[in-house]
Amino acid sequence: MVKPGTNMIEAAKAVGSDIPYYCYHPRLSIAANCRICLIEASNAPKMVPACQTPMAEGQVVKTTTPKVKEQQRAVMEFLLLNHPVDCSICDQAGECKLQDYYMKYDYRPSRLEGTKALKNKRKVLGPRVVIDQERCIMCTRCVRVMNEVAKEPQLGVFGRGSHERIDVFPGSELNSNYSLNTVDVCPVGALLSRDFRFKARAWFLSATPSVCTGCSRGCTTYVDWMSQDSYRYRPRENEAINKSWMCDEGRLTYKYLNLGRVLQAQVGRRTNRAGEAVPVTTRKEAVQAAAKALRSVQGSKQLAVLASPLASNEDLLAGLNFAKSTLGVSTVYVGGRPSGSADHFLMTADKNPNRKGLELIAKGLGLKLETFDALTTALKAGTVKALYAIGTEVPGNVDAFAEAAGQLDVFVAQAFTESAITAQATVLLPASVPVEDEGSFVQQDGIIQRFRKAYPPKGDVVPGWEWVRELTRELGGESTWKRAVDVWRELAGKVAEFAEFNWEKASPADREKPGINPLPAGADGRPAGYREFGTPRVRGI
C-alpha cells in the first residue's frame, strides 16, 4: 500500500518489486525517454512509463506480465543496437546498468546486420570530464543535472535519430564545479572522470562511508579504496547537507590522503640537502623525545599550541585536553587551510572540515582561541619559544612560518602531510588521515557526522589521539584509550553541544553489502582477464 500520487518506481521499491529504469532519477525532472520502465496499469488502455505516472486510488499495476517483459527486452535490444562492445576496457564495467539489465531482461545476441553508427569515442568536454558518444543511450540525465542542479546549462542534445549525441555548445566547455556529477548519474560508461579513468576496476575497490574534507560544508561521501590507497570520493545521500551531489573541487581533495604523507617518526630538524630527516627514529623514541622537550616548557608562557580544523573531534578533544591539563596552556592558536572561493551551491570559502568542531571543543574546555596571525606576531616578538602543533596546516605563508618555526627551541608536530613546516619540527609524529581511523566532524551548520575507518595506516602513522595517549603516559599521566570512541566517551561530556550525539548509533553502515563493495565480478577468486581459462589451474588464479 502506498499513498496516491507516489511515483510508480518508488512505489514498486516500497513493496519489494523492481521496475528497471535509465533516465529516471529521484532528484531530477521526469524525461520518460528511455521507455524501459513501461508497465501495465489498470486505468490505462496501453502501457505507461512508471517514472512519469503517479499512483492513483485503487490502481492495479502489473510489472511482470509477458507484455511488459517483451517490452523490456525490446528496449534493451534497441539500446544495444549501436552500443559498442567495450566492456573489457570500459571504466563503468561492474557498475553499469546496461550490463545488469542485459543479463536480467535481454540476454540475447544482436540481430543487427551491417555496421554500428560511429560517433566520437574520446571527446574532452572540459577539464574533468570526457565523453564516449558511442556508449551514450541518450537518457539526458547529465543535461538535466547541469540545468536543474548546477544551474549551469553547459550540456545539450544535438543531432537527430541514430546520430543524436550529448555535447557542449559550440565554442564552450563543461567547466562547472559540478561537472563530475554528470559522471555519477550516467548509467553507462559514456561520461567518465578524467582523473579516475583507467585507474582502477570497480570490482577491485571497496567503499567506506566518509566525509569530504574539502570545505566546511562536509559533504557526506563514500571513499573508494584498494589496498592502502584512496582512488575517489563519491557523494553519499544526505538530505540535510548535500542531498546526492558533490562539487568537483571537493572530490579531488582525496589526493592528499595518498601523496606527500608523513610516514616515519622523526627527531631533529632536516638539515641535509636531500631533504631527509636526521635522524629517523622509532615511535617509542620519538614519543620519549617529544615528552622530554615538552616537559622542559610545561606550564611556561613561552609554550604555544597550534590546532588545525582539519583534525577530527576525537583528535582535538584529546589534544586540547592534553594542552590544558598537562601542558598548562589557556590559549590555542587556530591553523588550517587558507580561505578559498565559494560558489552558489555547496562549496564554501572555509576549506577546513572541522572549524566548528574546534570552536565548540575549545569553548567546552575553557580555552581561548586566537588567530594564526597572533601566533606569527608572537613568534616574531620572541614571546613564543616552544610550539606543540596538532596539524601543521597554516592559513598564511608556509615558507615564512617555516622560517620562524626553525628558530623555535621546541617544535613538536603531529602532522599527516610533508611540508616546509614539518621539516622544521624538532620532533615529528606522523598522524593518520580520516580514512585511516574512525571519528567525527562538525560541519558549518553544526551537524555532527561520523566517518569510518577504511584501511590501516602505513608506516609509523597512528591517530592523533593515540600520540596524545603516549605523550600523556610519558609525562606521568594516565590514559587508557584504545579506540577513538573511548576518547569521545571520556571527553565529549565537556562540550555541551555534543551531549545529544550518540557516537555509535550515528555510525553509518560499514558497507552496503558484506565483504567488498561493490561485489566483485570475479567472485570465484579469479582476477578479471583470467576467466577464459575455465576452472582455475592454481588456487586463486
The CATH classification number of 6-81 equals 3.10.20.740
CA distance 236 to 222: 6
Phi then psi for residue 357, to 5 deg, are -65, -40
pLDDT score for 277: 52
CA distance 86 to 92: 10
What mean pLDDT do residues 255-261 have?
Answer: 93
Going by their DSSP bridges, the two strands 386-390 and 410-415 should be labelled as parallel
pLDDT over 70 (residue 511): no
Q: How far is CA 126 from CA 129, 154, 155, 162, 252, in A?
A: 5, 10, 11, 24, 15
The model's pLDDT over 375-432, given as tens digits with 9 standing for 90+, comes to 999 999 999 999 999 999 999 999 999 999 999 999 999 999 999 999 999 999 999 9
Phi then psi for residue 463, to 5 deg, are -60, 155
pLDDT over 90 (residue 107): no
pLDDT score for 532: 32
The model's pLDDT over 427-477, given as tens digits with 9 standing for 90+, comes to 999 999 999 999 999 999 999 999 999 889 989 999 999 999 999 999 999
Better-predicted residue by pLDDT, 541 or 239: 239
pLDDT score for 274: 57
* Share of residues in the chain with pLDDT > 90 (%): 76
The model's pLDDT over 306-334, given as tens digits with 9 standing for 90+, comes to 999 999 999 999 999 999 999 999 999 99
Handedness of CA 281, 393, 357, 341 (dihedral sign): negative
pTM of the model: 0.89
3-state secondary structure of 163: helix
Domain residue ranges of the chain, discontinuous segments joined by +: 6-81, 266-505
pLDDT over 50 (residue 535): no
What cell does 307 get? Answer: 590546532
The model's pLDDT over 39-85, given as tens digits with 9 standing for 90+, comes to 999 989 999 999 999 999 888 999 999 999 999 999 999 999 999 98
Phi then psi for residue 496, to 5 deg, are -60, -35
Please name the CATH architecture into which domain 266-505 falls: 3-Layer(aba) Sandwich (3.40)
CB 46 within 8 A of CB 16: no
